[in-house]
Amino acid sequence: MAAVPILDTVWLVGSGTHPDAYTDPHDCHCYLIWDGTGGILIDAGTGLGADQWLAAVAEVCDPQTLAGVVLTHYHADHAGGAAAAHAAGIPLLASAATADALITGDEERTSLARARAAGVYPPDYRLTPATIDQVLTGGETLAAGDLPVEILPAPGHCDGHMVALARTPDRSLLFSGDCLFAGGQISIQAIPDCRLDQYADTVIALAERDIDTLLPGHGAVVLDDAGGAIQTAAASFRRLVPPPNVLS
């Protein structure tokens, strides 16, 4: 386990699959944006690998100097580590829907009860409640040091999903959570708040943005020309056909 550099200002600091950034098999990819003067984390994993995740962050910077961790959505593989981050002195930033679900560790709203019954998580796994420090509405521009990080609403995969669009001097980076994946795949599940009509609007709106690099919550990162994959997904949705599902 280590902080794995992706770009000059981005590290993979947690993952359920990357061999070098591995924290816990149930964790999403957790990213650190750090420009040498300040930074922001994207997603917190399940909490099962929180010690390793926080240690990886500390390889790059002092975690207590970070502006916070942006939780893209309330699913446990992305937000279960929120309480551990807060305990480590890292502010929590998320949408109102995520804030409402996490304050009680709501297993119905987050679909954790369904996912655990489906065998996605260990039988004894629980979502540790956490209080969000800053509720995001979308449209905010946060700062990772001198790098702007724009927060955009991105519902569809679940309610309250947000994505983060960061700009370095030479490229734009979309931290897409579970909204978009390499190859223009999306993530559709049979859960109450997966909403295909909203998903279509989200992806079509993202296709209007200038995006070079895609850093999703799972799977491969797309370092260059990520806009093409997003355009492909948007074109499918415009024909009212959901793009390929990353889940199978």
Please, what is the minimum distance in Å from the beta carbon of residue 208 to Zn ion?
Answer: 23
Residue 220 three-state SS: coil
CB of residue 73 to Zn ion, shortest distance in Å? 6
159 binds Zn ion (CB under 5 A): no
Binding segment for Zn ion (CB under 5 A), chosen from 103-111, 136-144, 174-182, 233-241, is 174-182
Which one of the spans 2-10, 68-76, 168-176, 192-200 is the region binding Zn ion (CB under 5 A)?
68-76
Segment 123-142, which members bind Zn ion (CB under 5 A)? none
Rounded CA-CA distance 56/68 in Å is 15
Nearer to Zn ion, 9 or 189 (CB): 189
SS3 string of 101-118? Answer: HHCCCCCCCCCHHHHHHC
**Of the candidates 27, 43, 178, 193, which one interacts with Zn ion according to CB under 5 A?**
178
Rank residues 178 and 193 by Cβ distance to Zn ion and give the closer one. 178
C-alpha 242/C-alpha 170 separation (Å) is: 32
Q: Tell me how far, at minimum, the Cβ of 158 lies from Zn ion, in Å.
A: 6
Of the candidate spans 15-23, 139-147, 176-184, 228-236, the one that interacts with Zn ion by CB under 5 A turns out to be: 176-184
Classified as helix, coil or strand, 68 is coil
In the complex, the smallest distance separating the C-beta of residue 10 from Zn ion, rounded to whole angstroms, is 21
Q: Burial level of 100, CB count in 10 A (0-12/13-18/19+)?
A: middle
- # residues contacting Zn ion (CB under 5 A): 2
Taking each continuous run of H as one helix and of E as one strand, the counts in the chain are 7, 12
CB of 5 to Zn ion, least distance (A): 25
Taking alpha carbons only, the member of 162, 157, 183, 142 closest to residue 33 is 142
Buried b (16+ CB within 10 A) or exposed e, 56-70: bbeebbebeebbbbb
List of residues 6+ apart from 223 with CB closer than 8 A: 6, 7, 213
Minimum distance of Zn ion from residue 178's CB (angstroms): 4
Tell me how far, at minimum, the Cβ of 12 lies from Zn ion, in Å: 18
Told to check if 75 binds Zn ion by CB under 5 A, we report: yes
Alpha carbons 155 and 197: distance in angstroms, whole number: 9
Give the interface segment with Zn ion, choosing from 46-54, 61-69, 80-88, 177-185 (CB under 5 A): 177-185
Q: Does 24 bind Zn ion (CB under 5 A)?
A: no
Choices 29-37, 71-79, 84-92, 208-216; region in contact with Zn ion by CB under 5 A: 71-79
The encoded tokens of residue 170 equal 């030479």
Please give the residue ranges that form the binding site for Zn ion (CB under 5 A).
75, 178
